[in-house]
Amino acid sequence: MDTIPYKSVSLHKAVLFKGLTSQQYEDLLKRGLSKTLQSKTILFHQGDSAISCVIVNRGRLKLTKLNEQGKEVILRYIGIGELTAAIAVLKDRDYPVTAESIEETDVTVWDKPTMMQMMREYPDIAINLLGIILERIEDVQNRYLEVCTERVDQRIARSLLRLMRRAGLKVPDGIHINIPLSRQNIADYSGTTLYTVSRTLSAWEKKGWISSGRERIVVTDPHALVRFSETV
């Protein structure tokens, strides 16, 4: 079981500090605070600093957002080597982004003053971070487009493919999405309900496109899913 090479692990860590020497890199790591989070620990609801940066060294974070009625959407899963930046341009936000560990997770955190200092000292860090954030905005925009224009089953297909590319492990019968994913999680990630997800996955399981269990998804026919997701 090795990670499929869709996306190299610890890519973003490299990207954030790209252009710096090893010595500088080591120094910057030391300025951050390392933490180990138990599973289901909330890392932040809302940073009280304008920018604070988190890199995941082990485990995985789930970024979510709640609306007034308590309905949740999953914005992203942050895996090993990836980072997330919390913002709080205004204080007392009502519906901020929440970062929660979904398994035991090691992170390195830089607070706002440290980040600001590092970015002023090494402009490349700000530029690198900008590149990462721009990729993120691209991702949200794509998902916004999807949720605005596509049927729910297409969106579920795209969601599985997206998760597969970012957290897929090769197993004998296909590609296992290495995140504990309940039907509710997939629904929150696709903008639908757990019932619709359940019905849809059942249908795909009958077709042999996936194989699933309790909080476990294996994509057995990725090409079929891709084709389906692009169906008119």
Residues at the site binding a second copy, with contacts judged by CB under 8 A: 50-51, 65, 67-69, 71, 73, 75, 85, 87, 89, 95, 97, 116, 119-120, 123-124, 126-127, 129-131, 133-138, 140-150, 191, 230, 232
Residue 149 contact among a second copy, DNA, none, beta carbon within 5 to 8 Å by kind: a second copy
Integer angstrom CA distances of residue 225 from 31, 153, 177: 44, 10, 14
Residues 135-194 interacting with DNA (rule: CB under 7 A): 151-153, 182-184, 191-194
CB of 193 to DNA, least distance (A): 4
Q: Whole-angstrom Cα distance, residue 180 to residue 215?
A: 5
Coil, helix or strand at residue 113: helix
Give whichever of 129 and 217 is closer to a second copy, judged by the CB atom.
Answer: 129
Q: Which of 198, 221, 222, 224 lies at the binding interface for DNA (CB under 7 A)?
A: 198
Q: Whole-angstrom Cα distance, residue 95 to residue 81?
A: 27
Residues in the chain: 232
* Residue 6, H or E segment: none
**220 is a contact residue toward DNA (CB under 7 A):** no
**10 is a contact residue toward DNA (CB under 7 A):** no
Residue 162: Cβ within 10 Å count: 20
CA angle in degrees (0–180, nearest 5) for 73-141-167: 60
Tokens matching residue 86: 């919390």
Residue 196 contact among DNA, a second copy, none, beta carbon within 5 to 8 Å by kind: DNA
Residues lying near DNA in the complex (CB under 7 A): 151-153, 182-184, 191-199, 201-202, 205, 212-215
